[in-house]
Structure 1
Amino acid sequence: MIYSKNSSYHMIDQHFKPFVLTGYEYRTEREKQFDLKRTVIDIKINFEEKAVEGKVELDLKLNSLPQDHLEIDAADMEIYNVSINGQPVKFESFPEKLFIYGDFKAFGNYLLTITYKAYPRRGGYFVEDPEGIQFWTQGEDTDSHAWFPCFDYPNTRSSYEIRVTVPLGYTVISNGSLVDKIDGDFSTFVFKEDFKFPSYLVSVIAGKFAETKYEWNEVPIHSFYAPRYADNAERSFKHTPEMMEFISGKTGVKYPYSRYSQTCVSDFVYGGMENLSATTLTDRTIHDEIAHLDYQSENLICHELTHQWFGDFVTCRDWSQAWLNEGFATYMALIYMEKLKGKDEFLIDVQNHKDVYLNEFNSDYARPIVERKYKDPAELFDRHLYQKAALFLRYLNYYLGDDTFWAGVKQYLETNRMKGVSTEDFRSALSSVSGFSLDSIFHQFVYEPGHPEFEISETTSKGKVTIKISQKGMIYNLRVPIKIYLEGNTEEQDITIDQEVTTLELEKKGFKAFSLDPESRLLKVTEYERPREETRFILENGGTVLERGDAAAELSKYGPSEIPFLMDVFSNEKSWYVKGRIASTISKIGGERSISSLVKLLDDPDYQARREVVKAVATVQSDKLLKKLKEMFSIEKGYHIRAAILTSAQKTGKEDSRELLMNGLKIESYDDVIRIAALNALGELGDVSTLKTIREFYSKKYRWQTRAASVRAISKLYWKDRTIGKFLLEALEDSYFAVRISAVEGILATGDFDVISKLSPYLSRETDGRVRRAMREALEYKGPQESIELKSLKEQVDKLKEKVSNLEAKSKTRK
């Protein structure tokens, strides 16, 4: 499951909004009554009734206490009968549980057989696709028990035999090796996997698919997708064998299973899901040549493949430890992209991961990476679990060195093969190999919220340059790399920062600039207070794109006089990322000189640089820029740059952008990015006359991304049309979770407590943990009451403006 974006952030003393909401309690690992040895799932997919029917056999061994009943997780299903070792027994069904009664002896072996029919509201999904209805499952975090009875928690593992019966002409993909296929009136596919794994990693997919085959080291790799994607599939999957080689080499553990499948399905609820040996992917990862200008699949493909080691080979033993799954998958994808695309692109990806985490930290909440207070496990799958955890692993990699770090990872994997793991298991493995306790580092970054923040200032006196590094907020004990730029050369070394203030003294002679952590090996926020000349030197000579980009941002404080220098540097700069940061600085400076400069920069021959300049102009209102953006929209081919043009046109041109935005609604593009940008921009424009048009895109004929954008745009018009409140409540019934989240966020954004309070009954019946989290946050909203009065006043002002406009129009007509 995956994301990325750029954002700005500021130094703060880490006063942050807490993650824990009212009623949250400390969660421990779930106790279990038994261990599973083997599970047999024998089901028929009933497409007409949208049901799963069949039986499950659970071969189990009881733990040390005798029991008079066993608790099995089961939801949304009719249980027909239950037997133990072939003998029928009494059972009782509850909304989420199945109680099976009997005399169960300590350490006894039992074979439970459960016959059932499930109508899953989660966990198993019947999805309409242009080439025929699909069925696919998604177990993480605890949704597998909505389509087959099981113990639905990651600390219990089983081997599996999975038998799936479907109509003729359908293909089934599941875990393990396909050992048999039986054709008659229907087709039955039989899969077996002896490697034990948790129930949330069980996968069944049934649909009509085309296939591309690869191989790595005699491991067959199968990529499945709807036949309409055949012309573009190779673009997404071709690097999979190389990734398998890369991950096997890094970890020292060869890909552990007999085969690997990755299947693209319609309307998947995540980017991907790492079911053991059988990854599920969104079909959005397959894209055409134009989309490839902005989006590549390799990050997602590598992320999910990495989970076959981190998440499947070893698995977090409870959900508070899920960073051991997601952090590693995110980090491995990062370093693979360095191999694929080079150091500059890798560092830009590191910065994007940092920005995504900091946006959540500053806007939403902060929490420890290991968080034990939560309601739904899905709440934990956030930017702390992915991006912050990945950047912590990057720091550990630097701290221990490549050889020691990966030797520790190898020991961690081999020691815990086919086991549930905790953070302590990982720390212990690294400690064993390195000789370091690492307790302090893990405590600072894993068990505490936040991150290091530095202010760096310089003074010069008596031939010396004094560098003062001040920590804000929590005082960390760190080893950090520095780089000193001298006349004609550079010096690099590591320093220790373990005090509120750390001071370095350097010779002034030959000194050009100082850089803390130039490759961003440590997740941190840094502010420099240094001479303009030093900042300019870094912008022109900095060894990394991150140093140069940050230097460009620093120069905005010098105002319009800095623009000629920035323009000169832009013309010589090779990195699209740094060019984008320079353009943002020029835009931030503002004024007529800024506008004329940005118009010139929009003609840059590099597509990615041009796209970044388009984003940068959004902060300046200008008829000249709007005219230029309109010209570009008719010429540019890239979907994402055209989407960015719409966003910036609305910001820079306000009402004069309306015609362009309406035209954007008509354009088809990968992931519907152009139409979505147009909808978002129309919402920001705030013209209630566009409401009917925007609402047309909340329709089942559009995919969930477009429906969600429509809901977001409509919500922004609430204070001009209160009937929108009813629409937003109706959108809470949408079939796709992300649309429902958009509806919740729209309701919260109204600031109207009367509408927000109506979320309560929806929360009680919502099945998705991510939506429930959004609803709980909204219901706890304690925003300023005056915002209601202010918005109501604005509404009255808008109505008065409309009346005045109508009177003026009538007056002109009479004349």
Structure 2
Amino acid sequence: MKSIIALVCLAGSLLAAMTLSAVSFAEEAYCTCRYCQTAAARASFGVDLGNDGPHYAPVRMVDVQHIKLDITPDFKKRTVSGTTTIRFVPLRKPIDVLKLDAVELNITEVKGSTPVAEFENSGTELNIAFEEPIPVGQESWVTIEHNCEPTGGFYFRTPEMGYPEEDTHCWTQGESHYARRWFPCFDYPNEKSTTEVICHVPSDMTVISNGRKLGESIDLEKQLKTVHWLQDKPHVNYLICVVAGYFDKLEDSAGDLQLGYYSQPSISQHAPNSFQDTASIMKFYQKEIGIAYPWHKYDQVTLWDFIAGGMENTTITTLTNNTIFSKETENIKTSRNLDAHELAHQWFGDYVTCEDWSHLWLNEGFATYYTHLYEGEKFGRDATLYGLYRDATNRVLPGGNNDKRPIVWKRYTNAGDQFDYRAYPKGSWVLHMLRSQLGEDMYRQAIQSYLKEHALTTVTTPELQAAFEETSGRTFDRFFDQWVYHARHPDVKIRYRYDPKLSLAHFTVEQTHKVDDDVMLFAFPATFALKCGDEMVYHTEEITDKKHEFYVSVPSKPEMVQFDPEYTLLANIDFDKPEEMWLSELENSDRCIGRILAIHALAKKKTNKAIDAIQKALASDPFFGVRVEAATALGKMNSDEALAALVKTPTQDDARVRLAVAEGVVGFYRPESLDDILETAKEEKNPAIIEKWIDGLAKYSDDLVTQYLRASLQRDSFRNQIAEAAVVAMEKSGSSQYVPDLAEQVTQHSGDYTARGLGKVLRALAKLSEEKEEKLQSLKIIAPNLNDGRTDVQKAAIAALGQLGLEEARPILQSYAEATNDEELSKAASNALAELTKDSNAQPRELIELRKQMQELEKSNTSLKEKLNDLEKKLETTEKKD
């Protein structure tokens, strides 16, 4: 104990000394350059700005007219060297210093049409000083030679990183602010220019970029291929894209437009599944939008471990290779929605682009909504409404209930804050409500006007509002104010009663949400459909007050009273109706949403009559989404009657419904049904549904389940989907009996898993290891995966080491926590160390806390030494100049 006290005193003295030392560095530690004080620039790091002030697009000092990139990626060293030439014209006043975003780039030379006096590279910004100011309107250029080992924006996938050699490739990702990490640029979406890419790669590789290919040639001596691309229509900087490597290509067309699909050779046999809808989507969008596809060609390229689902670079969409799927999954797996979303961006986001991130919904809301419209084109109106329903119930309504941020929100801390439900599904719903109120034809006219007027420019929300107002002749101030510039959505309570004497339906519509500075009282049309015998009565009432009462004359007592039958309002609806009315709605509603709402209302009743009605819908409703929701509702009821209804349902032809039935059945815990569950799982051929059955088996400890899970590790499936499901089930079981099986998967079969799949195996192995000796053995198996080269595997290995709870893992984790060249791994290691320290019971709490403090002190000390050295160098340089 005395030694612990002594160490604490020593640490306290050191901390005090370091605190005093830090004071002299206060100004040095807080950077006030334009880069660090600009929301857009710091967003690429995810750095909190530390203030609540609104953020706006930066003022453009020059008009960038053209960007020319001449680059050479080195696949062995994973570096990029190149020359960037930027042609520009000063705006409003002459400029003597040109400022460019440039993060961790090594700048070797800068030249210009006006002689360059000097340049300064801060590590985040490149400042180019000219010998004379460049006059307003004078076309000028700068050429910058640079190289880097990119930490973002430019990515390699090579054998040294754990990827198949035949799939070697590299690719770029610009949105939101990552282009600056591999070439100097004005990295913000309020600037558009034409672009040009010249890329030098090994002679057997393919290069794809924006626009049209001007040509390619091969240098036989260097064995390098040079490929030249030109995008001759202006687009924003984040849409510049280069992809190079080994790909298999499929070709298609939509009219005269050429379509290209590129995928990795190791999975290309399945690629036709993923791109089967592209031509159809293209034709539909050109008809629906009323403006021809505005670019030269359209390519799609899949990439190993892409950092997102997809990215709508102009004329070349990049996609996760997880979008490739096998036919065995039937219609459960599809790339159709991702395909449709990214293609819609070629108009909404590329042709017309949001000026700053607060108006991101003008990109993402349109892409989301037009994806739903294509579903309706392909499968009928109910498919569009079901997509909107799922967005509302799964994302917008739960996300927005307690969120005071509007869609257009300028107080974000980094650009990533805007990429959430507000820009995507809520933005989509705003467009749906506009289309519903205006009608399809007038809506289309407004969209055509919007795109034509702002073609190849950047926009903010007022431009879209103006297009709707000019087309319709009505004001949309209140609509945009409540839905776009204020937060949330209405909570609507509806009550109904019938007056038999007067044959009147009496309605009360009340908005029950809290109204304040952030959330308005909403104005919206409320439509009711009343079925009175063979006659349907429709009535629409404009709701503008907190509470609104009205009467509707009807020929007889309504047997069905439905609110918003066409599903046109985004709101939480509380409409309490008798069971008979919900039964009637399930039987008679024309649209799928009415039947779905009836199913979930009846499920809450839990009566035998309700269960029978839901089971009937599951067995025979014509729309798959209703059958899916019926299976889901029965699964959540947790009664023997509901389980019996699920089990007795005839086998469904639609795999999506079979999946929902499986999910519903396995949600119950019924040991007496285990034999039936195992038998059904063994009979199923679809790996996506098998995965669901396996997941449900995790709660059973029966020997037959153990045998089945172990056998599933050996089953062949695309991307090892079935084996991965078995791994997850083993982890959920909590049983250490599976440790040898998991260890074998790591040591003998790791190459069969995707990076994320292998990560699941590593974490499961760590979680299930119990005794000290077993944990040590697992540590030896897990640790080598730190050298895998794939970030997902490395992070999983780090997390697994922390989960083991062994002090022997601390030095390994410490080395990664202190590493500064990879922020992701460093953060993962710090989290693992925290987990390790939290779980450690072998040492006194004082010593554990002391160790944590010492670790932080060591980091701070290293940082201060670096700053001191940097300051001394600057002082030496200043003294030499003097």
TM range (shorter): 0.7 to 0.9
Indicate yes or no: 2:217 matched with 1:182.
yes
Q: Secondary structure at the match of 2:327?
A: coil
Please point out which of 56, 75, 79 is paired with 1:28. 56
Kindly state the Cα deviation for residue 184 of structure 1 after the two structures are TM-superposed.
Answer: 1.9
Which residue identity is paired with 1:479? P
Aligned to 1:586: 634
Q: Specify the alignment match of 1:810 in structure 2.
A: none
Secondary structure in structure 2 of the residue aligned to 1:154: coil
Aligned CA distance change for structure 1 residues 273 and 494 (closer, same or farther; 3 Å):
same
- The answer on whether the counterparts of 1:580 and 1:616 sit within 8 Å (CA) in structure 2 is no
Please tell me whether the aligned partners of residues 206 and 244 of structure 2 are also in contact (alpha carbons under 8 angstroms): yes
Query: What residue number does 2:582 align with?
Result: 535
* Equivalent residues in 2 for 1:501-540, closer than 5 Å: 501-506=547-552, 507=554, 509-540=556-587
TM-superposed deviation, 1:39: 1.2
What per-residue deviation string (whole Å, max 9, x for no partner) do you get for residues 75-125 of structure 1?
232111111127454222222211212243342432111011121111111
In the TM superposition, what is the alpha-carbon distance from 1:655 to its structure 2 partner? 9.7
Find 1:484's aligned residue among 530, 543, 556.
Answer: 530
Q: Which of 364-373 and 90-99 deviates more?
A: 364-373
Secondary structure at 1:310's aligned position in 2? coil
Pair 1:150-2:185 in alignment: yes
Distance 1:147 1:604, change over 3 A: same
Offset from partner CA, 1:710-755 (integer Å, 9 cap, x none)? 57767977999999999999999997677799899999999xxxx9
Paired residue for 2:124? 96
Assess if the C-alpha contact under 8 Å between 1:82 and 1:89 holds in 2: no
Displacement of 1:157? 1.3
The answer to whether residue 757 in structure 2 is matched with residue 706 in structure 1 is: yes
| Greater CA drift, 723-732 or 126-135 | 723-732
Q: Deviations over 1:398-435 (max 9, x none)?
A: 11111211111111111111111111111111111112
2:405 corresponds in structure 1 to 367
Q: Give me the TM-score of the superposition, normalised by structure 2.
A: 0.77
What residue is the counterpart of 2:602 in the other structure? 555
Q: CA deviation at 1:276?
A: 0.8
Contact persistence 1:576–1:612 (CA under 8 A): no
5+ unaligned residues in a row in structure 2: which ranges?
1-47, 516-520, 805-809, 842-882
Aligned AA for 2:175? Answer: E
1:117 is aligned with what amino acid? N
- State the one-letter code of the partner of 2:83: K
Deviates more, 1:658-667 or 1:199-208: 658-667
Higher-Rg structure is: 2
Q: Quick check: 2:84–2:145 contact (8 Å CA) kept in 1?
A: yes
Cα deviation, residue 613, structure 1: 1.3
Paired residue secondary structure (1:90): strand
1:227 is paired with a residue whose SS is: coil
Q: Which amino acid aligns with 1:105?
A: I
Instruction: Give the SS at the match of 2:573.
Output: strand
Q: Decide whether the 8 Å contact of 1:136 with 1:206 is kept in 2.
A: yes
Q: What residue is the counterpart of 1:812 in the other structure? A: none
Query: How many Å separate the matches in 1 of 2:401 and 2:829?
Result: 17
8 Å Cα contact 1:264-1:281 kept in structure 2: yes
Question: How many angstroms does 1:496 deviate by?
Answer: 1.7
Question: Structure with the greater relative contact order (CA < 8 A, sep ≥ 6): 1 or 2?
Answer: 1
Contact 1:175 1:203 in 2 (8 A): yes
Deviations 1:115-172 (A, max 9, x none): 1112111111111342141011111111011121111111111111211111111110
Query: Judging changes above 3 Å, is the alpha-carbon distance between structure 1 residues 376 and 536 closer, same or farther for their aligned structure 2 residues?
Result: same
Classify 1:199/1:606 alpha carbon distance in 2 versus 1 (closer, same or farther; 3 Å). closer
- The Cα shift of 1:360 comes to 5.8
Residues 509-544 of structure 1 deviation map (CA, whole Å, 9 limit, x = unaligned): 241111112232222222331111111111122212
Distance 1:326 1:730 in 2: 41
Shift of 1:205: 0.6
Letter in 1 for 2:59: E
Identity level (%): 26
Of 33, 41, 53 in structure 1, the residue corresponding to residue 69 of structure 2 is: 41
Q: Distance in 2 between matches of 1:281 and 1:80?
A: 34
Q: Once the two structures are superposed, what CA deviation does each residue of 1:467-525 show, in whole Å capped at 9, x if it has no partner?
A: 33332214311124332222113233433222223334344824111111223222222
The aligned counterpart of 1:801 is none
- Contact preservation (8 Å) 2:446, 2:467: yes
- Paired residue type of 1:577: G
Distance 1:741 1:347 in 2: 39
Contact 1:284 1:671 in 2 (8 A): no
Q: Deviations over 1:30-64 (max 9, x none)?
A: 22331111111111121121111121111111222
Task: Single out whichever of 73-82 and 358-367 deviates more from structure 2.
Answer: 358-367
- Aligned equivalent of 2:152: 122
Contact 2:739 2:769 in 1 (8 A): no
1:456 to 2:494 alignment? yes
Q: Secondary structure at the match of 1:303?
A: helix
Q: Are 1:266 and 2:304 counterparts?
A: yes
Counterpart AA for 2:636? K
**Alignment CA distance shift 1:280-1:601 (3 Å):** same
Give the 3 Å change call, closer, same or farther, for CA 577–243 of structure 1 in structure 2.
closer
Structure 1 residues 160 and 590, CA, compared in 2 at 3 Å: closer, same or farther? Answer: closer
Q: Measured at CA, do residues 606 and 126 of structure 1 come closer, stay the same or move farther in structure 2, by a change above 3 Å? A: closer
- Structural mapping, 1:577-616, within 5 Å: 577-601=625-649, 603-604=651-652, 606-616=654-664
Aligned partners of 1:166 and 1:188 also within 8 Å: yes
* Secondary structure in 2 matching 1:35: strand
Tell me which residue corresponds to 1:645.
Answer: 693
Deviation at 1:189?
0.5
**Is the 1:356–1:383 Cα contact (8 Å) retained in structure 2?**
no
1:191 aligns with 2:221: no
1:248-287 correspondence to structure 2 within 5 Å:
248-287=286-325
Per the TM alignment, residue 607 of structure 1 is displaced from its structure 2 partner at its CA by 3.2
SS in 1 for 2:428: helix
Change (3 A) 1:477 1:667: farther
Aligned pairs for 1:330-729 (under 5 A) are 330-358=368-396, 361=399, 367-463=405-501, 464-473=504-513, 474=515, 475-506=521-552, 507=554, 509-562=556-609, 563-601=611-649, 603-604=651-652, 606-650=654-698, 657-670=705-718, 672-687=720-735, 690=738, 702-707=753-758, 709-710=760-761
Judge which range, 343-352 or 412-421, deviates more: 343-352
When residues 696 and 204 of structure 1 are mapped into structure 2, their CA distance, relative to the original with a 3 A threshold, is: farther
Over 3 Å counting, the alpha-carbon distance change for 1:350 and 1:445 in structure 2 is: same
3-state secondary structure, aligned to 1:293: coil
TM-score norm. by structure 1 comes to 0.83
Name which of structure 1's ranges 731-740 and 320-329 shifts more when overlaid on structure 2: 731-740
Distance 1:513 1:744 in 2: 58
Count of aligned pairs? 759
Contact preservation (8 Å) 2:407, 2:485:
yes
2:99 corresponds to:
71
Kindly indicate whether the alpha-carbon contact (under 8 Å) linking 2:305 and 2:320 is maintained by their aligned counterparts in 1: yes
2: CA distance, partners of 1:695 / 1:360? 40
User: 1:195 aligns to what SS in structure 2?
Assistant: strand
Q: Distance in 2 between matches of 1:313 and 1:612?
A: 40
Cα distance change of structure 1 residues 747 and 423 upon mapping to structure 2, 3 Å threshold: farther
Helix, strand or coil at the partner of 1:413? helix
Q: Deviations over 1:213-267 (max 9, x none)?
A: 2233422222222334444333332332332222122222211122222122222
Change (3 A) 1:726 1:55: same
Residue 232 (structure 1) aligned to one of 270, 275, 294: 270
Contact 2:312/2:346 (8 A) holds in 1: yes
Amino acid in structure 2 at the alignment position of 1:125: Y
